[in-house]
């Protein structure tokens, strides 16, 4: 098979700086690329979990009506955490929307949050 991995997932955002601050300051993601020199009027901004820089989220400024309609409509993404209950408590203290509190499930402990635009994230950790 020629396809080896997923490298980037694009999230359309209303404001790149606001999105960067949310992912960096709330989820603890790191900036992988922040470059506006490649293409005029295009800021290529990617972030990733510090322990998984090979999978990057592209924080893409929504410019067209179609792109703007896609803000907050990404499918649920699973984020692996060491301690789901503690991570949810930390995120809640930072004002992150908790959709579903941590519960024990057959595969560990699971909870759901939303980012600043409404995209859902399922945090999963060991029981």
**Confidence at residue 81, expressed as pLDDT on a 0 to 100 scale:** 97
Q: How confident is the model at residue 23 (pLDDT cuts 50, 70, 90)?
A: very high
Q: Label residues 92-104 b or e (16+ Cβ within 10 Å = b).
A: eeeebeeeeebee
Per-residue pLDDT at 37 exceeds 80: no
Tell me the two tokens of residue 29: 């993601």
Show which of 31, 51, 71 is a domain's final residue: 71
- Cα–Cα distance measured from residue 97 to residue 88, given in angstroms and rounded to the nearest whole number: 10
- Structure-derived torsion over alpha carbons of residues 90, 81, 101, 87, reported in degrees to the nearest 10: -10
Is the pLDDT reported for residue 40 higher than 90?
no
> Model confidence at 38, in pLDDT bands (50, 70, 90)?
confident
Do 20 and 66 share a structural domain? yes
Mean pLDDT of 33-44: 85
Mean pLDDT of 77-96: 97
Query: Mean pLDDT, to the nearest integer, of 65-75?
Result: 97
Query: Is there a single domain that holds both residue 15 and residue 76?
Result: no
Do 105 and 57 have their domain in common? no
Looking at the fold, whether 67 and 79 belong to one and the same domain comes out as no
Same domain for 78 and 61: no
58 and 4 in a common domain: yes
The pLDDT score that the predictor gives to residue 41 is 82
* C-beta of residue 119 within 8 angstroms of C-beta of residue 96: no
Judge if 61 and 17 occupy the same domain.
yes
CATH number for the domain spanning 91: value is: 3.10.180.10
Tell whether the model's pLDDT for residue 34 goes beyond 90.
yes
Q: Domain limits at 9?
A: 1-71
Residue 11 has pLDDT above 80, yes or no: yes
Residues 79 and 125 in one domain: yes
DSSP 118: -
Residues 104, 127 contacting (CB under 8 angstroms): yes
Q: Give how many domains the chain has, as a whole number.
A: 2
Shared domain check, 93 and 65: no
Q: What value does the mean pLDDT take over residues 45-54?
A: 96
């Amino acid at each position: 098979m020629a396809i080896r991995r997923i490298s980037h997932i694009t999230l359309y955002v209303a404001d790149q700086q606001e999105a960067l601050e949310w992912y960096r300051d709330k989820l603890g993601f790191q900036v992988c690329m922040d470059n506006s020199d490649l293409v005029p009027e295009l800021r290529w901004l990617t972030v990733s979990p510090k322990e998984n820089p090979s999978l990057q989220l592209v924080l893409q400024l929504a410019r067209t009506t179609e792109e703007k309609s896609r803000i907050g409509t990404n499918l649920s993404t699973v984020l692996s955490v060491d301690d789901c209950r503690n991570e949810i408590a930390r995120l809640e203290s930072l004002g992150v929307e908790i959709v579903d509190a941590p519960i024990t499930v057959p595969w560990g402990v699971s909870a759901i949050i939303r980012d600043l635009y409404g995209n859902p994230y399922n945090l999963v950790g060991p029981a």
